[in-house]
Structure 1
Amino acid sequence: MTNVAQAGHMLERARWAAAAYADYDAAAVNTIVNAVAEAGYAEAERFATEAVAETGMGVAADKVTKNRACSRGIVDYYRDQDYVSPRLDEARKIVELPRPAGVVLALTPTTNPVATVYFKVILALMTRNAVVVAPHPRAKRCSADAARVLAEAAVAAGAPEGIVQVVDEPSIPLVQALMADERTDVIVATGGTGVVRAAYSSGNPALGVGPGNVPVFVDASADINAAAKRIVDSKAFDNSVLCTNESVLIVEDAVADKLRSALTRAGAHILDEDGARRLRAYMFADGHLNTDVVGRDAAWIAGQAGLRVTPKTRVLIAPFDDVIAEEMLAHEKLSPVLGMTTAADAARGIRAARAVVRIGGAGHSAAIHSENPAVISDFAAQVPVLRVSVNVGNSTGSSGLDTNLAPSMTIGTGFVGRSSIGENLQPQNLINWARIAYNSEPGVVMGNFAGINPWHSPAGQVPQYPRASNDRDGVAVPPRRSYATPNRASDAGLDALRAELRALVIEELAQLIKR
């Protein structure tokens, strides 16, 4: 089967499933979502081990934590939210009807493969969307296995066939075909800059994120021992594969020595000038991050760089002087390696954090350890990021696992980070609301919509694909116009634009795989 034909077959099944699923009510959707979350939770340990074995990245125990957080944890977080039932606002005389996106194409990364599959599938199902998972080639086995477990649970709980599908053998032509096909309603892209740009260039709506490069500032008012433990724990968490992990540590001079001692007690190894030079040379030999270090443990990285540390070393800390683009230790590392510099006072520390974000990570996240609300406020106002974690490790802070931010494996960076969303990806990002709006004149009476729900649970057995979606229990139902696909094949100008976009997408994806 050709790549285009395979993509078309998957999307046609997904389109049919989305149309059928869009008629389910809240009770039916909750049953399906709960079943899928429990199935994922039950396999959290197995898939964590498989992900580490396949990718060579991360720590199995920490991946278990993420898998659990992105299955049962996600459902618990949104337990009281309803993305299915109409909303009635009698004061404003408005009725809101949730309209699912339809078919979601979920691009998932190699760094957090299974947790991201769990996360995106469950969000799609919460909002009555079908989802096609396109995993990173280096994590295809564990990602596909996880998606199939979720798909089977969904169908067993009453979802239509094809509601969750996965690409078993991802390739540039196949992913390009999926991204460019007009049956894809929205692309949710998590991965490198290349794949996100390709998603935005596909011609279809896309929700993408930008890279991280997180500064963490410790000011003179901070609880130094607590800050040191939180920073080391965060950098060591899953060997720093989360894009929210701290990248550059900035500490106020007055407490720098105390912090160094506390970091060492917490399990970090602080390098001398020669050690930092060796590490820099190994990790950035050609001016770009050596991807061999991504997700590897600190002792392994030290050994590759010709450094001797104890096997129990959790984090390598490499001091440097100036936060400038030419200093490679000021760039993102995706490994338990932390650059460290000092600042004379809080104002200079904040300027250093701004400089880190200018190098990379605009709009993403930052962390501060401080007991001074004025400093925290200035830090949040001046550093151009959209989430600031306070007195918590940023790996699990900005991702919502240890704060009350929305738990997410997809971190929006907003306009400053060239992202279409500025928040942690949430269910609300995968639906629109159709609004019935009455005349605002007091004399015009609004009808009584109480108890009216246009959706219906599936009666009996869900029809099997390719049985027509408008044939339920032998009774023909008019097709849902919101899912009709316009025929634009006769537009020569649009055909030329599609060809140009396909070429751009192929180039972007080729660059991603080269990296």
Structure 2
Amino acid sequence: MTSIAQAGQVLERARWAAAAYAEYDQAAVTAIATAVADAGYAEAERFAAEAVAETGMGVVADKVIKNQACSRGILDHYRGEDFVSPRVDAARKIVEIPRPAGVVLALTPTTNPVSTVYFKVLLALLTRNAVVVAPHPRAKRCSADAARLLADAAVAAGAPDGIVQVLDEPSIELTQAMMADDRTDVIVATGGTGVVRAAYSSGNPALGVGPGNVPVFVDASADVAAAARRIVDSKAFDNSVLCTNESVLIAEEAIADKLRSELTRAGAHILDEDGARRLRAYMFADGHLNTEVVGRDASWIAGQAGLRVTPKTRVLIAPFDDVITEEMLAHEKLSPVLGMTTAVDASRGIRAARAVVRIGGAGHSAAIHSENPSVITDFTVQVPVLRVSVNVGNSTGSSGLDTNLAPSMTIGTGFVGRSSIGENLQPHNLINWARIAYNSAADVPMGDFTGINPWQPPAGPVPQYPRASNDRGGQPIVTPTARPSDPNLDALRAELRALVVEELAQLIKR
């Protein structure tokens, strides 16, 4: 098991790599990020299968989609954006110079392990940061394998040694020690509430997110058949392990019967009152979610609850009456189980959605299927979330995979959700900008910064982390300014060897 001392060495190596990488120019950064994205994309299918095999969660085909979206998809989304070069605003007489965070400690979950590794590594590399991946222990093998693949691709493309590292044997104690270490510049935490709270209380800057509990409202103006297909597809996507998956379906009574028929046609199984009771008892036996159901398919969950459904059942829908805290089906479920209730009109439906978010998921996301802009606006104003997906499945809607939101595996919940960010995590969250600000008076001229760029492409071979001469087969000490082939360094080594030999000879004579 990795010791805290060894973890300290990892952070020290990352700090050195971050300092070296911070001098790279935009062209070099783009080449490195492209190589890493291509490497991840090429292995998307292998890692999807490994993640499902190791964690027992999700669907391989859907994880392939997420891995592809979080590799080349991320690169394509930010293509043309520059997080490296200075920005000159002559009208305001301000020059902005990007300053990377430094060392990013990336906590990754068991539900979306590889896609989150891909996502956080690419965001760090696009912004010239080093990244240390701390995987969830239940997904450590696939996460570590993926991180090492990306690390090798980065170094092969010219990145400094140690720019991407991973903890092979993660533990709570080790992760806590690294979160509190002064060499960690920012923590990016994706996981349960406990993990995020620990990150915020570590003493280091942290970007963490709150849990989801997504209400989806279908009003009387909606295309009901399309809404049903989208909801079932979204709820079945990767067996609902994305925190953006729908949790409670609210149907306006005027279209509720038609919606039920269309949901059944799309592959959902609507339980009767007794079936809902059995499912509730199995999933929330002690008042908390039975984690065995997380990421499992609908027919497996039904069987465990003593229910009979066809093997092709994609989603279980459990009706209930009131959206109250005591109703466990109104809580987050992270599985293809959807609670369902009805409302007499749009106003009551919006109130029900508000109640769902009060139970859990404040600041996170919500979905609505409607053709009425007024209802959509009222829904967004009154439901305390920071992203509302319209006429799209929320799993891939609020995560930016099927909308023009930033594609992300980390969903900020803002102030209402006790999060430091209120948007989908993006590259600009991992840099600050140092601003050169001239006197605003019209008679004070601003200097000409055209073409000035303090960064340079890396010169020579890939910078190697300095090592003791007896480390790893006698590799020499290497610094960013002294390569192994430096004749001055070779002469110094020869002189030191001669001094040591002479001293040993004198000792033998005595």
TM-score under structure 2 length normalisation: 0.92
Quick one: which of 466, 473, 481 aligns to 1:471? 481
* Per-residue Cα deviation, 1:63-121 (whole angstroms, up to 9, x for no partner): 00000000000000000110000000000000000000000000000000000000000
In the TM superposition, 1:485-496 aligns within 5 A as none
Q: Which residue of 2 aligns with 1:442?
A: 442
Equivalent position of 1:199 in the other structure: 199
SS of 2:170's equivalent in the other structure is coil
Contact 2:2 2:168 in 1 (8 A): no
The one-letter code matched in structure 2 to 1:257 is D
Partner of 1:21: 21
Q: CA deviation at 1:462?
A: 2.3
CA distance 1:2–1:263, change in 2 (3 Å): closer
Alignment map for 1:282-361 (pairs within 5 Å): 282-361=282-361
Q: Distance in 2 between matches of 1:472 and 1:101?
A: 26
- Post-superposition Cα deviations, 1:11-60, rounded to whole Å, max 9, x if no partner, equal 00000000000000000000000000000000000000000000000000
State the AA in 2 paired with 1:89: D
| 8 Å Cα contact 2:400/2:406 also seen in 1 | yes
- Percent identity, aligned pairs only, is 85
The letter for the 2-side match of 1:374 is S
Matches within 5 A, 1:149-228: 149-228=149-228
Partner of 2:111: 111
SS at match of 1:471: coil
The reply on whether 1:368 has 2:378 as its aligned counterpart is: no
Whether contact under 8 Å (1:180, 1:204) holds in the other structure is yes
CA shift at 1:7, angstroms? 1.4
Match of 1:425 in 2: 425
Partner of 1:502: none
CA distance in 2, matches of 1:456, 1:468: 20
Q: SS at 1:215's partner residue? A: strand
Q: 1:273 aligned to 2:273?
A: yes
Distance 1:86 1:475, change over 3 A: farther
1:150 counterpart letter in structure 2: L
1:20, 1:469 within 8 Å by CA — same for their partners in 2? no
Aligned residue number for residue 255 of structure 1: 255
Check whether the contact 1:247–1:330 (CA below 8 A) recurs between aligned residues.
yes
Q: Secondary structure at the match of 2:317?
A: strand
For residues 388 and 91 of structure 2, the distance between their equivalents in structure 1, rounded to whole angstroms, comes to 36
8 Å contact kept, 1:3–1:177: no
- Alignment match, 1:229: 229
Shift of 1:424: 0.1
What secondary structure is seen at the aligned counterpart in 1 of 2:460? coil
Measure the CA separation in 1 of the matches of 2:302 and 2:118. Answer: 33
Q: Secondary structure at the match of 1:317?
A: strand
Largest Rg, 1 or 2: 2
CA-based RMSD: 1.2
**What is the CA deviation profile of residues 438-493 of structure 1, one whole-angstrom value per residue up to 9, with x for unaligned ones?**
111111111110000000111111221115655256699xxxxxxxxxxxxxxxxx
Find the counterpart in structure 1 of residue 95 from structure 2: 95
Q: Which residue in the other structure is 2:457 paired with? A: 457
TM superposition shift of 1:3: 2.4
Q: Does 1:391 pair with 2:395? A: no
SS of residue paired to 1:239 = helix
Conserved? CA contact 1:3–1:173, under 8 Å: no
In structure 2, give the amino acid aligned to 1:451: G
**1:174 Cα offset (Å):** 1.1
Q: Which amino acid aligns with 2:93?
A: K
Separation of aligned partners in 2, 1:50 and 1:297: 17
Q: Residue 216 of structure 1: CA displacement?
A: 0.1
Q: TM-score, normalised by structure 1?
A: 0.91
Q: Which amino acid in 2 is paired with 1:37?
A: A
Residues 164 and 2 from structure 1, CA distance in 2 versus in 1: closer, same or farther, beyond 3 angstroms?
Answer: closer
Amino acid at match of 2:248: V
CA distance in 1, matches of 2:445, 2:223: 60
Counterpart CA distance in 2 for 1:63 and 1:420 is: 28
Please state whether the residue corresponding to 1:248 is helix, strand or coil. strand
Corresponding residue pairs, total: 476
What amino acid does structure 1 have at the position aligned with 2:481? D
Does structure 1 retain, via aligned residues, the 8 Å contact 2:464–2:480? Answer: no
Q: Distance in 1 between matches of 2:125 and 2:425?
A: 14
Task: For 1:376, give the aligned amino acid.
Answer: I
Do the aligned partners of 1:182 and 1:204 also contact (CA within 8 Å) in 2?
yes
How do residues 112-151 of structure 1 correspond to structure 2 at under 5 angstroms? 112-151=112-151
Runs of 4+, deviation exceeding 4 Å: 467-470, 472-476
Q: Distance in 2 between matches of 1:230 and 1:217?
A: 12
Distance 2:173 2:383 in 1: 39
Q: CA deviation at 1:181?
A: 0.4
What is the CA–CA distance in structure 2 between the aligned matches of 1:447 and 1:475, rounded to whole Å? 42
Q: Who is 2:68 aligned against?
A: 68
Distance in 2, matches of 1:146 and 1:463, equals 23
Distance (whole Å) between structure 2 residues aligned to residue 124 and residue 175 of structure 1: 19
Distance of 2:388 and 2:27 partners within structure 1: 36
Q: Equivalent residue of 1:140, what SS?
A: helix
Q: Is the 8 A contact 1:19 1:469 kept in 2?
A: no
Deviates more, 1:406-415 or 1:462-471: 462-471
Secondary structure of residue in 1 paired with 2:31: helix
CA contact (8 A) 1:16 1:469 kept: no
Q: Determine the C-alpha separation between the residues in 2 that align with 1:437 and 1:57.
A: 52
Distance in 2 separating the partners of 1:2 and 1:292 = 28
Matched letter for residue 431 of structure 1:
I
Letter of the structure 2 residue corresponding to residue 471 of structure 1: T
Deviates more, 1:457-466 or 1:284-293: 457-466
Q: Distance in 2 between matches of 1:249 and 1:353?
A: 9
Q: Structure 2 stretches of 5 or more lacking a match?
A: 467-476, 489-510
User: For 2:432, what is the secondary structure of its paired residue?
Assistant: strand
